Amino acid sequence: MIPAQNPSTSEGAPPRFRQLSALCYSAPLLVNGIVLPFFPVWLATHQFNDHQIGTILAVPMVVRVLVAPIVAVFADRMQERAHVLLWSGTLSLLTAIALYWTTNFWPVLIVFALQGATFAPYVPVVESIVISGVRRWGLDYGSMRVWGSIAFIISTLIGGELVGRWGGGMVLPVMIFGFLLTITMAVFCPRIGPTRRRGQPINLPATTGSGLREPHLLLLLLGVSIQQASHALLNAFSSIYWHQLGFSGTEVGVLWSAGVASEVTVFFLSRRLNRRFDAWTLIRFGCAVSICRWVFFPMETSFIGFFALQCLHGFTYAFVHTGVQRRIVATVQETQEASAQGAYFFYIGMASGLMTIASGYIYSALGLDSFYVMACVAAFGLGLVIIAYYLQPQRLPSGGKTREPA
């Protein structure tokens, strides 16, 4: 994903850093693999309407984006960022258990919002630890991140089979099991000390501009966040729609897994992609494919057709995420790493939360035609990305250079 650099000769990575980092990605994505596709099904079994489902799914997103950047900044100043993961996993487990006693709208909304707050920093902090490994020891990001996607696929397939056999009530037990794994991996997460505060990262090109204050980076994050928010309708209502078409729980799990399998393919090919394409090309192409994906979605009713559309997720998410991470590495110092990841998480979460709230009303009013609205949203995000590209200092008339780093 992020190009690996030559490893440092003055120090080596901690023992089993790659393996433990891969497992640290896997644990939270096991949770996401059941929550993202099937929690809306659990809500539907409790007779919540489209507006309520959209609100319940959206509020935790907004809460997460308010909490994650604050915790990320705090993590940048800790002796060990991994300590944040322990309390995040523990508190999230408690909220999952509490859902057993909540079946009405307001209790479910409050408890699920609390889960959004407590689970918010887990993935950004893991991301910052792994990227520190990329910076310090020249490790390959994709080879670690890919196992999180594989865990998502396994969780989704198993979750689909369980939901197909025993209904939406199986969502909570699998969720609880996933949170127990996040606690376990918080204990074993690599301890690599605080972020470096002096000097440049070894064997990495010097960062450009003023880090998080760089206008082109801020606009890039905003544009990508809007494009990613166009996935909100799919995340909220596709599983319900596919069940209405008569697809089994296993088939729904396969459709979700197809999207993540395409991510895995991108991560495995990340080194080749990084050699052939710059970050901006990956981002722009992914945004353009997302427009096509949402245009064709309402036209399909067959399993094979939806399977093909889900395979485009490797472009609409993984290409874009790959490019953004490379731009962050090229623009900010390691002392701002967790803060940068928190900011990225903030923009995506806020845009996705607002779009998820809106999707409940849009889907109720327009049905499948709502995906044409998502195509317009993705197009707007692409427009902002293109503007961000031309705002780079290297591309301004006074900048001299005509090509951007990374």
Q: Regarding the domain delimited by 17-196+205-395, which CATH topology (the fold level of the hierarchy) does it fall under?
A: Growth Hormone; Chain: A; (1.20.1250)
Check: CB of residue 230 under 8 Å from CB of residue 374.
Answer: yes
C-alpha–C-alpha distance, residues 274 and 1, integer Å: 7
- Rg, C-alpha atoms of the chain: 20
State how far the Cα of 154 lies from the Cα of 139, in Å rounded to an integer. Answer: 25
The full length of the chain comes to: 406
Vertex 333, ends 329 and 334: CA angle to 5°?
85
Angle of helix 17-45 versus helix 105-119 axis, rounded to 10: 170
* Angle at the Cα of 32 from the Cα atoms of 26 and 33, rounded to 5 degrees: 80
Sort 178 into a burial class: Cβ within 10 Å, 0-12 / 13-18 / 19+.
buried
Q: Are 8 and 203 in contact (CB under 8 A)?
A: yes
pTM (global) more than 0.85: no
CA distance 285 to 266: 13
Query: How do the pLDDT tens digits run along the chain, 406 residues long?
Result: 454 444 443 467 777 898 999 999 999 999 999 998 999 989 988 989 888 999 999 998 888 878 877 887 777 777 788 889 999 999 999 999 999 999 899 999 999 999 999 998 898 889 888 888 887 887 877 778 788 888 988 999 999 889 888 888 889 999 999 999 999 999 999 888 776 543 444 343 444 445 566 788 889 999 999 999 999 999 999 999 998 899 998 899 999 999 989 988 887 787 788 889 999 999 999 999 999 999 999 998 899 999 999 999 999 998 998 899 888 878 877 667 667 776 787 788 889 989 999 999 999 999 999 999 999 999 999 999 999 999 887 665 444 444 444 5
Q: Which tokens is 260 given?
A: 């993540």
Domain boundaries, the chain: 17-196+205-395
Helix, strand, coil percentages, rounded to 5, for the chain: 80, 0, 20
Cα separation, 342 vs 72, whole angstroms = 6
